[in-house]
């Protein structure tokens, strides 16, 4: 739409962000409003760029794996697992079976806490703070479990290239079982509290609609895509770690709740059901937890030497709580990787905001924005600053820069 036309049809432009109390993550929105109704949506991510990939390209893989924990405060396991899997493919490391199972257990515990965190945030965005406190109260159980297994509450530091750093002892095993029983008993209650509540139903049913086709065209991933009816899950489609041995099926909103409609309510259903699925996966893992080593090479000097010799490129794919997360790594016989690129799951999901928000009311913006569980500190990768001013590069600019680079390289 040209600037002149925009002026005629849309009386108000409402900017929200980059930092706004209604948004949990820093992102700049520009809404074209007609009365209370959102007509056009534009957003600009890139407000929390930290240059973590630049730091990584000056460090060896053993150092980077601890930095990947800090890419996101919620997906500590996801990013380090994804990076470790990329490096393992390049170096040709075969991860011991026990380590694979421990990775899976932690990965699923993380999904439980992430989904409960999201459920709390969603309730808070609706103004339903008692439900928010309740969701975060029950989330503590999984946080305590993770803390006990890894040593820390947030930056776990448990994944190592070629395995995990800490084993699960028999006492910890019984702790996990206790935690699983706790969540098993809680699932029905959480489902009742969220899905049978008239406030939640009123605000979420048929709001933030994303059709199956839009989800496919905009490459949505994770619960956002599954709530719209796309049958996709990296754990099911390209099994990694122990998922190949386990029974994992992508969770779609069941037909008895109205089938996949692709609204905010469906996204709540998918996430709540996935908590139950995670509990089931952890139980399966504990049952068939094989004995053996947990590291491919316990001597770090040997591991570093093997990484230094390796050449090649690989992509590590992992199903994060928010969707597919990818780490691309290229190593060229040096201590540090030649290239490292993170594609966080929210990056794929952000575009689905545009069809979701169009036609909704201003007051629905927070819950719809939150409904894809955006994580901008994972996502933000490119910001260009020149002479102290930051500029946003358009597609044309990028094409021009790319052509110039090709020309430079051909000379």
Partner 1 sequence: MAGLPLLPELLRQLFSRPATNTFPSRHLPSSVTGFLAKVARGEATIHPPVPTPPKFRGKIVYDREACIGCSLCLRVCPAHAIEFIPETKRVRIYVTQCIFCSQCNDVCPKDALHMSPEFLLATEDRYAESQIVE
Contacts of 172 by beta carbon, 8 Å cutoff, 6+ apart? 148, 149
Residue 160 Cβ vs partner 1, minimum distance, rounded to whole Å? 8
Residue 211 Cβ vs partner 1, minimum distance, rounded to whole Å? 29
Enumerate the β-bridge partners of residue 183: none
- Piece of 189-197, 252-260, 276-284, 370-378 that binds partner 1 (CB under 8 A): 189-197
Mark out the alpha helices in 255-358 (DSSP H runs): 264-287, 300-309, 345-349, 353-357
Enumerate the β-bridge partners of residue 16: 29
Please pick, from the candidates 49, 59, 334, 381, the single residue that binds partner 1 as defined by CB under 8 A.
Answer: 59
Q: Residue 247: how many CB atoms within 10 A of its CB? A: 10
For helices 264-287 and 97-125, the axis angle rounded to 10 degrees is 150
Nearer CB in complex with partner 1: 322/327: 327
User: Is residue 67 a contact point for partner 1 (CB under 8 A)?
Assistant: yes
Two tokens, residue 314: 């690989």
Two tokens, residue 97: 């079976």
Nearer CB in complex with partner 1: 112/218: 112
DSSP string, 309-373: H-EEEEEEEEEETTEEEEEEEEEESSSS-SEEEEE-HHHHHGGGHHHHHTT-BGGGHHHHHHHT-
Nearer CB in complex with partner 1: 8/299: 299
User: Is residue 198 a contact point for partner 1 (CB under 8 A)?
Assistant: yes
Please pick, from the candidates 7, 137, 249, 400, the single residue that binds partner 1 as defined by CB under 8 A.
Answer: 137
Nearer CB in complex with partner 1: 75/193: 193
Class of residue 317 by CB neighbours under 10 A (exposed 0-12, middle 13-18, buried 19+):
middle
Q: Report the site for partner 1 in 146-175 (rule: CB under 8 A).
A: 147-148, 150-152, 155, 157, 165-166
Q: Report the site for partner 1 in 266-305 (rule: CB under 8 A).
A: 300-301, 304
Residue 291 Cβ vs partner 1, minimum distance, rounded to whole Å? 21
Residue 195 Cβ vs partner 1, minimum distance, rounded to whole Å? 9
User: Is residue 131 a contact point for partner 1 (CB under 8 A)?
Assistant: yes
Nearer CB in complex with partner 1: 131/285: 131
The three-state secondary structure class of 378 is helix
Two tokens, residue 152: 């820390």
Tokens 């309740």, residue?
134
Class of residue 15 by CB neighbours under 10 A (exposed 0-12, middle 13-18, buried 19+):
exposed
Q: Residue 71: how many CB atoms within 10 A of its CB? A: 25
Q: How far is residue 47's CA from residue 262's CA, in Å, rounded to a whole number?
A: 28
Residue 134 Cβ vs partner 1, minimum distance, rounded to whole Å? 7
Nearer CB in complex with partner 1: 148/358: 148
Nearer CB in complex with partner 1: 49/165: 165
Enumerate the β-bridge partners of residue 42: 30
Please pick, from the candidates 4, 94, 196, 256, the single residue that binds partner 1 as defined by CB under 8 A.
Answer: 196
Please pick, from the candidates 17, 18, 24, 60, the single residue that binds partner 1 as defined by CB under 8 A.
Answer: 60
Q: Is the Cβ–Cβ distance between 359 and 35 less than 8 Å?
A: no
Largest CA distance in the chain: 70
Residue 304 Cβ vs partner 1, minimum distance, rounded to whole Å? 7
- Piece of 93-101, 141-149, 240-248, 388-396 that binds partner 1 (CB under 8 A): 141-149
Residue 136 Cβ vs partner 1, minimum distance, rounded to whole Å? 9
Residue 145 Cβ vs partner 1, minimum distance, rounded to whole Å? 10
Residue 301 Cβ vs partner 1, minimum distance, rounded to whole Å? 7
DSSP string, 101-134: HHHHHHHHHHHHHHHHHHHHHHHHHTT-HHHHHH
User: Is residue 317 a contact point for partner 1 (CB under 8 A)?
Assistant: no
Enumerate the β-bridge partners of residue 313: 330
- Piece of 66-74, 95-103, 179-187, 314-322 that binds partner 1 (CB under 8 A): 66-74
Two tokens, residue 236: 């099911």
User: Is residue 385 a contact point for partner 1 (CB under 8 A)?
Assistant: no
User: Is residue 231 a contact point for partner 1 (CB under 8 A)?
Assistant: no
The CB-side HSE value for 404 (13 A sphere, CA atoms) comes to: 6
Tokens 């979420």, residue?
204
Q: Given the rule CB under 8 A, which residues bind partner 1?
A: 59-60, 62-64, 66-67, 69-70, 130-131, 134, 137, 140, 144, 147-148, 150-152, 155, 157, 165-166, 189, 192-193, 196-198, 300-301, 304
């Amino acid at each position: 739409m040209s600037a002149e036309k925009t002026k005629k049809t849309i009386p108000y432009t409402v900017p929200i962000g980059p930092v706004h109390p209604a948004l949990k993550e820093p992102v700049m929105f520009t809404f074209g409003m007609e009365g209370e109704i959102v007509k056009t949506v534009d957003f600009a991510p890139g407000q929390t760029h930290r240059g973590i990939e630049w730091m990584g390209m000056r460090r060896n893989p053993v150092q980077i794996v601890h930095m990947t924990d800090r890419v996101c405060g919620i997906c500590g396991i996801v990013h380090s697992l994804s990076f470790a899997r990329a490096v393992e493919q390049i170096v040709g490391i075969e991860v011991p079976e026990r380590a694979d199972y421990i990775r899976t257990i932690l990965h699923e515990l993380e999904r439980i806490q992430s989904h409960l965190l999201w459920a709390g945030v969603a309730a808070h965005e609706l103004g339903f703070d008692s439900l928010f406190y309740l969701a975060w109260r029950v989330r503590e159980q999984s946080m305590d479990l993770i803390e006990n297994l890894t040593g820390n509450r947030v930056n776990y530091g448990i994944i190592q290239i070629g395995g995990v750093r800490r084993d699960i002892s028999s006492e910890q095993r019984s702790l996990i079982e206790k935690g699983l029983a706790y969540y098993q008993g809680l699932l029905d209650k959480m489902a009742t509290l969220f899905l049978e509540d008239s406030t939640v139903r009123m605000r979420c049913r048929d709001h933030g609609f994303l059709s199956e086709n839009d989800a496919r065209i905009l490459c949505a991933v994770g619960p956002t895509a599954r709530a719209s009816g796309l049958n996709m899950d990296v754990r099911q489609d390209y099994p990694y770690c122990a998922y190949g041995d386990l029974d994992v099926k992508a969770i779609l909103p069941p037909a008895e709740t109205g089938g996949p409609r692709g609204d905010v309510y469906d996204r709540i259903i998918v996430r709540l059901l996935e908590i139950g699925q995670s509990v089931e996966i952890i139980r399966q893992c504990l049952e068939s937890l094989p004995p053996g080593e947990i590291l491919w090479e316990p001597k770090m000097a040997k591991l570093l030497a093997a990484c230094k010799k390796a050449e090649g490129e690989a992509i590590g794919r992992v199903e994060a709580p928010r969707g597919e997360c990818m780490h691309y790594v290229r190593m060229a016989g040096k201590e540090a990787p030649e290239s490292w690129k993170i594609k966080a799951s929210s990056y794929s999901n952000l575009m689905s905001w545009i069809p979701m928000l169009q036609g909704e009311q201003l007051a629905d913006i927070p819950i719809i924005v939150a409904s894809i569980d955006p994580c901008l500190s994972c996502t933000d990768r490119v910001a260009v600053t020149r002479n102290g001013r930051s500029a946003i590069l358009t597609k044309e600019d990028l094409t021009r820069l790319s052509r110039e680079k090709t020309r430079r390289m051909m000379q």
